[in-house]
Amino acid sequence: MRAFGCIAACLLAIVVGPEAARAAPRYTGDATACVEDGHPVRLTVSVFGVRSGDGLMTITVYGDNPDDFLAPGKKLGRVRVAARQGVTEACLAVPERTSYAITVYHDEDGDGDFNRNFFGYPLEGYGVSNDGATLLGIPSYESARFTAGPGENAVSVTLAY
């Protein structure tokens, strides 16, 4: 897989139907809902530029090892929530690390895939923390890297479509 195929593969380990996901957030990896105890770092992620309330927003958090970024099975946590036009927010509690990186994509049609055209260009919204620059379509860990400490931390991501 090239370009955004890697992102899609990394973000789609668990496929849930849109109706099930609307009922409650789905947490995977070591992350827990922010209201639960257990992990000291709480990341409230605000996703801006959401063009519709259709489908699901998938937010994935990676830890401080650059080699783990976008690698299958290496996430700290993931949440899927119903998309909201304009701004979609979600919160994850994660283990403490020296730094983090976040990827987001808008599964607008709710099919469980990060849809791309024939040339591999994304047909659905995507973004990374820090609105990190991409090189040939694949964001680097360093461009998405941020620090967060125990307690509440706000992170924003702006989608590109």
Mean pLDDT per block of 10 residues along the chain (161 residues) reads 35 33 48 71 95 94 96 91 94 94 94 86 93 77 96 95 89
The first and second tokens of residue 12, run together, are 């789609």
Question: What is residue 1's predicted lDDT score, i.e. its pLDDT?
Answer: 34
Would you say how long the chain is, in residues? 161
Question: What is residue 20's predicted lDDT score, i.e. its pLDDT?
Answer: 36
Question: What is residue 121's predicted lDDT score, i.e. its pLDDT?
Answer: 86
Amino acid type, 70 = L
Q: Are 44 and 94 in contact (CB under 8 A)?
A: no
Burial 20-56 (b: 16+ CB within 10 A, else e): ebbeebebebbbbebeeeebebbbebebebbeeeebb
Write down the domain spans for the chain: 4-158
First-to-final CA distance of the chain: 20
Question: What is residue 35's predicted lDDT score, i.e. its pLDDT?
Answer: 67
What are the two backbone dihedrals, phi and then psi, of residue 10, each rounded to the nearest 5 degrees?
A: -70, -30
Question: What is residue 138's predicted lDDT score, i.e. its pLDDT?
Answer: 81
Q: Are 126 and 159 in contact (CB under 8 A)?
A: yes
What is the 3-state composition of the chain as percent helix, strand, coil, each rounded to the nearest 5? 15, 40, 45
Question: What is residue 25's predicted lDDT score, i.e. its pLDDT?
Answer: 53
Q: How far apart are CA 153 and CA 148, in angstroms?
A: 6
Q: Are 60 and 75 in contact (CB under 8 A)?
A: yes
Question: What is residue 132's predicted lDDT score, i.e. its pLDDT?
Answer: 84
Q: Are 155 and 102 in contact (CB under 8 A)?
A: yes
